[in-house]
Copies of this chain bind each other. A is one copy, B any other.
Amino acid sequence: MNEDERALSSQIASIIGEECGDDCAIIPPPSGEFVISTDMLHETTDFPKGMTNWQIGWMSAAVTISDLAAMGSTPRYLLLAIGTDNPDRVMDIVRGAHDCCTRYGVRYIGGDLDAHTECTIVSTGIGEVACGSAVRRSGARIGDRIGIVGIPGRAEAGLLGCCEFLQYLLEPKPLVAEGQALLHAGATAMMDISDGLMISLLDLAKASSICCTIDLDLIPQVSGASLPEKQCRDLAWYGGGDFGLLFTIPPSHIDNIAKKDINEVFFIGEICTGEGVVSSCGDQIHIRGYSHFSS
């Protein structure tokens, strides 16, 4: 870190209200255990054209807070490593990340600054859960119902130019309260669907060594988008960038979800023996890979 970076670091400290002076930030022990996640984002593939620096900061924090939410944890701390071509961008990026942290009760405790030809940000988040209670991908059991929170495809609809969905693309909202509510409702497995719904179902099927059987008609689709029907279906199946949650829950616990008052919950299928993702007619569903915003 050179002198200019040191000056910037002092300005950052004044925004986030932390000292940032030491080699490390210090965090007190949790009452339960910690979960931790790190995510790399960069300009060409992750920050759509026209995105403001504030939005870049918000998204960088949100993507990691979403990972913490998907374990059912309470997000606690965030670090941000910022590499940028232009130091004038840093403060707005920091403000965006700090505003996102504040919104979700997270302490932005430090990070790193670097000069980089392409704006590149790595956020690392730490959340807290009661020992042994984090909801993993591997917990789905035969007979569990498969649910999602949120309508998949909205972020990519925004990318395709549907203005009414731009907020989902540019200022995504991690489902923190929803993740915690699903943990307490008795969810057996959970993950976010930021890579797309179908590939997330496949990830969950592999992790739990089961088959996800999906009633395709039950998958909600973006409405009001000025797009052909087939494209709306593709957005719902494969669209990335949404911060929805995918979860499984035993039928006996489904009533708990209604009591938790979670918005936009959709049940789309059931966990069966086997592997992969199939339709309720028994057809294998084609899974398309998702590579950020370029596919």
The binding surface of chain A is classed by DSSP as mixed
Cβ–Cβ contact B38 & A81, under 8 A: yes
Q: Which residues 14-43 of A sit at the B interface, judged by CB distance below 8 A?
A: 21-30, 32-40, 42
What is the copy number of this chain in the assembly? 2
Neighbouring B residues of A21 by C-beta, 8 Å: 136-138, 203, 207
Once bound together, how far apart are the Cα atoms of A29 and B134, in whole Å?
Answer: 14
Q: Which residues 91-129 of A sit at the B interface, judged by CB distance below 8 A?
A: 109-112, 114-118, 120, 122, 124, 126-127
Tell me which of A64-72, A257-265, A270-278 binds B.
A64-72
**Is A55 close to B, CB under 8 A?**
no
Candidates B3, B23, B38; contact of A289 at CB < 8 Å: B3
Cβ–Cβ contact B122 & A38, under 8 A: yes
Neighbouring B residues of A44 by C-beta, 8 Å: 117
Candidates B38, B70, B110, B291; contact of A115 at CB < 8 Å: B291
Cβ–Cβ contact B112 & A40, under 8 A: yes
Neighbouring B residues of A111 by C-beta, 8 Å: 38
Neighbouring B residues of A25 by C-beta, 8 Å: 35-37
Cβ-closest chain B residue relative to A66: B23
Residue pairs across A and B with Cβ atoms less than 8 A apart, 11 shown, are: A2-B291, A4-B289, A22-B71, A22-B137, A23-B191, A24-B37, A36-B77, A36-B109, A38-B38, A38-B110, A124-B124
